[in-house]
Amino acid sequence: MKTVYMSFSTDLLHSGHIAILQKAAQLGELTVGVLTDQVIASYKRFPLLSYEERVSMLENIRGVHKVVEQNSLSYAENLRKLKPDYVVHGDDWKSGIQKPIRDEVVAILGEYGGQLVEYPYSNEEKYQALEERSRAHLSIPDIRRGRLRKLLEMKPLVSIIEAHSGITGLIAEKTTVVTDGKAKQFDGMWVSSLCDSTAKGKPDIELVDMSSRLRTIDDIMEVTTKPIILDGDTGGLIEHFVYNVRTLERMGVSAVIIEDKTGLKKNSLFGTEVEQTQDSIEHFCEKIAAGKKAVKTKEFMIIARIESLILERGMEDALARAFAFVKAGADGIMIHSRKKDPAEIFEFCEKFRAKDAITPIVVVPTSFNTVTEEEFAARGVNIVIYANQLTRSAFPAMQKVATTILETHRAKEADDLCMPIKEILTLIPEE
């Protein structure tokens, strides 16, 4: 009896999948490798059905002999273990992000004389419509909101990038790289006060009001499905914060991060160059507790941000605040620093983790940007936020083009710096 291997990520099993499964089963004893939630989320979209549900679904399909876990986009581990005579796949992976995976499968099959069997990929409209419906489903507030908590359970490190508009949201949603059989995307978006204010030409001093911030979030939500963390500045008055928590939760935002400052807020990266006042532990705990009381779901997170290192109040103060804020109900702690050297961030993580192994730690490595995600994860960090890089990269590009046009009295010289008209026209396809 010949043996056959197929890999499946789908959570919507349609007639096209059944047809290819039946063809594969005719070639021999069929083993299906089911991709884990983490792998699927990294390259496609968050699965609507969990890994266990997808395993059970495939186990009950006629012709499927066995179901095994495939814990990477790469087939290498399972192929070397099972040495199937055939690998079956649709022919859609001959190009695009799956091509390197296919190339590796071909090479490994070549090692022991296995064979790749490809059937024409069926991209019928009804299947496309199904996929579009699933995507739309993921953007529904109730489905989107809880995904940050799910990601925290699934992944050692959740990586988040700033978005302040529909287009930056799309970049955060869609940018994908594949390296060594591993696909990587950002897990979600940070609606930064700095970048939201900058996009509106305003300083980052809590001047852009909540209605405007909500409008930005809505613009992003219109075109994306990934979870959103809001930079909630100081959270404002406790009496206002409780209302805003409910609004954000209802919209499908996953978390708000509020910082323990009071009075006129200035951006943290000014540090002690400007006057900034830290809130008292008691008052900030009151704000956290009031916010937690207003939350209606188990999913929405209130994360407390500690400014002690920014304001040079010392490690002991930062740690005392962290433990007090967790006790008051904070679902996570963001520790911030504006030093290039990550030593104080690492020291905080070590000392915090010595007493609290569970509460998620968030960092924003704008200054300490040499540290890799792997190293942060090893130090006990759970969320890394790239808080301003899309704004900081777009601004000089726009400024250069504007200067070039002024200098040359025409747009020709600026053209090389711009995306071709054809590309911009089709960048956002019509539905």
Residues known to be catalytic: 204
Report if residue 216 touches ligand SPV, rule: CB under 6 A: no
Name residues contacting ligand SPV, limited to 362-401 (CB under 6 A). 364, 366, 387-388
Concatenated DSSP letters for 161-216? EE--SHHHHHHHHH--EEETTEEE---EEEE-HHHHHHHTT--TTT-S-HHHHHHH
Query: What pairing do the DSSP bridges indicate for beta strands 177-179 and 182-184?
Result: antiparallel
Q: Is residue 303 left, alpha or beta, with left meaning phi > 0 and alpha meaning psi from -120 to 50?
A: beta
**Contact yes or no for 333/322 (Cβ under 8 A):** yes
Contacted entry of Mg ion, ligand SPV, none for residue 364, CB cut-off 5 to 8 Å set by kind: ligand SPV
Report if residue 279 touches ligand SPV, rule: CB under 6 A: no
Instruction: Tell me the window of 48-56, 230-238, 331-339, 358-366 that interacts with Mg ion (CB under 5 A).
Output: 230-238
Query: Which residue bears the tokens 């909101």?
Result: 145
Report if residue 249 touches Mg ion, rule: CB under 5 A: no
Instruction: Tell me the window of 42-50, 61-69, 116-124, 266-274 that interacts with ligand SPV (CB under 6 A).
Output: 266-274
Name residues contacting ligand SPV, limited to 336-365 (CB under 6 A). 364
Residue 185 or 193: the one with the smaller Cβ distance to Mg ion is 193
Which of 313, 358, 314, 315 has the alpha carbon at shortest distance from 333? Answer: 358
Question: Min. distance of Cβ 336 from ligand SPV in angstroms?
Answer: 6
Q: Which amino acid would we find at residue 150?
A: K
- What is the rounded end-to-end Cα distance, in angstroms, of the chain? 47
Residue 58 or 362: the one with the smaller Cβ distance to ligand SPV is 362
> In the structure encoding, which two tokens stand for residue 228, read together?
């959103």
CA atoms lying within 13 Å on the CB side of residue 116: 20
Question: From the list 42, 165, 216, 268, which residue makes contact with ligand SPV (rule: CB under 6 A)?
Answer: 268
**What's the full length of the chain, in residues?**
431
Instruction: Tell me the window of 164-172, 192-200, 323-331, 412-420 that interacts with ligand SPV (CB under 6 A).
Output: 192-200
Report if residue 206 touches Mg ion, rule: CB under 5 A: no
Number of residues that bind ligand SPV (CB under 6 A): 12
Query: What pairing do the DSSP bridges indicate for beta strands 361-363 and 332-335?
Result: parallel
Report if residue 231 touches Mg ion, rule: CB under 5 A: yes
Which residue's CB comes closest to Mg ion?
193
Report if residue 276 touches Mg ion, rule: CB under 5 A: no
Question: From the list 193, 224, 308, 382, which residue makes contact with ligand SPV (rule: CB under 6 A)?
Answer: 193
**From CA 205, how far away is CA 198, in angstroms rounded?**
11
Question: Min. distance of Cβ 221 from Mg ion in angstroms?
Answer: 20
Contacted entry of ligand SPV, Mg ion, none for residue 10, CB cut-off 5 to 8 Å set by kind: none
Which of 246, 217, 215, 250 has the alpha carbon at shortest distance from 231? Answer: 217
Which residue's CB comes closest to ligand SPV?
192
Report if residue 192 touches ligand SPV, rule: CB under 6 A: yes
**From CA 42, how far away is CA 38, in angstroms rounded?**
6
Report if residue 12 touches ligand SPV, rule: CB under 6 A: no
Q: What kind and span of H or E run contains 373?
A: helix 373-378
Report if residue 193 touches Mg ion, rule: CB under 5 A: yes
Report if residue 258 touches ligand SPV, rule: CB under 6 A: no
Chain residues in the site for Mg ion (CB under 5 A)? 193, 231
Chain residues in the site for ligand SPV (CB under 6 A)? 192-194, 204, 231, 267-269, 364, 366, 387-388
